Amino acid sequence: MSQIVENYRAVHGLRHYPAIEILEQPVASGRTRDVFRHPTDRSLLIKVNKSAPTPRRFFRRWSVLKAVRRVYKNVVPLRRELGEYSRMEAYEAETKRHLQRFSHLVMTDRGVGLVVRASRRLDGTLALTLRKIIQLGIYDKAIDTRMREFLDWYEKSGIVAADVHLDNIVFDETLDSIVLIDGIGDKTFIPLRAWFPIVNKLYKRSRARKIRDEIAYRFMDVTLRKDALRILLWIVGVSLGIDLMDGQLIDG
């Protein structure tokens, strides 16, 4: 049995040990989890579930439904995510460049934490998401090539990763690779993608196409905004009689 699955089964055992105290603010935050720096190992990050919102009155009325909801919201996604990490171990040579490395589970003062390797830039800061890279106008041909490699792997690999978008894909400069940092596992009540590979393959093909389209749209939007600003500055410069190339008066 994989050590990753054993880690999951040991979650309840973790509760008998002192919890790691997280004092810092999150370095990143998603819809369901906050991400913190590991307090003793800066090469690692800890992902911890956010506090669950108050359940609807219907669930509060029935204790059984409340328990089922808690298991589905907290335990099931973690179990499925760890299952994917475990299953993809057999494809390590193909996935290590594109899938964030899982380390182990820990108990924290905020709940069970998923410890992963931090993806970074060359200056040591955390890797930028694809959305941020496009917004900053630094999405270039080299990154586009790596993105094509990533999407090719995503479509052809057997990984179940349903919630993939520009906010959980980062460019790890230390690996010179695009890395998936979240969205792993099937989050639906009935995990059809995990049960039927053909369903998973068709879904990922569609998801990859949408990601390509979104990148193209956002890249074009940023480019047009920059060009519009350049044109506006040129018009202002001409109207003031200033050559923006050297800052001198056009007549001078």
* Structural domain contains residue 232: no
179 & 85 share domain: no
41 & 60 share domain: yes
DSSP, res 132: H
178 & 201 share domain: yes
Q: How many domains does the chain have?
A: 2
Are 158 and 197 contacting, i.e. CB atoms less than 8 angstroms apart? yes
pLDDT of 5 reads 47
Which of 118, 144, 162 is a domain's end point?
118
At 138, which CATH number? 1.10.510
At 41, which CATH number? 3.30.200.20
Range of the structural domain that residue 62 is part of: 1-118
Q: Which residues contact 92 (CB under 8 A, 6 or more apart)?
A: none
Which of 118, 140, 162 is a domain's end point?
118
Are 115 and 104 contacting, i.e. CB atoms less than 8 angstroms apart? yes
106 & 143 share domain: no
88 & 128 share domain: no
113 & 61 share domain: yes
114 & 125 share domain: no
Q: H helices then E strands: how many in the chain?
A: 10, 10
DSSP 78-131: HHHHHHHHHHGGGGHHHHTTTBPPEEEEEEETTEEEEEEEPPB-TTSSBPEEHH
Q: Rounded CA gap, 135 and 221, in Å?
A: 9
* Structural domain contains residue 42: yes
Q: Rounded CA gap, 92 and 245, in Å?
A: 52
Q: Which among 65, 90, 71 is positioned nearest to 157, based on CA atoms? A: 90
130 & 215 share domain: yes
Tens-level pLDDT at each residue, the chain (252 residues) = 445 445 555 554 555 556 788 878 999 988 888 999 999 998 999 999 887 555 555 555 656 665 665 656 667 788 888 888 888 877 766 678 899 999 888 888 888 899 999 999 999 999 999 999 999 989 999 999 999 999 999 999 889 998 899 999 999 999 999 999 998 988 887 888 989 999 999 999 999 999 999 999 888 888 777 767 666 666 666 566 655 445 444 444
Q: Please state the φ and ψ torsions of residue 196, each to the nearest 5 degrees.
A: -125, 105
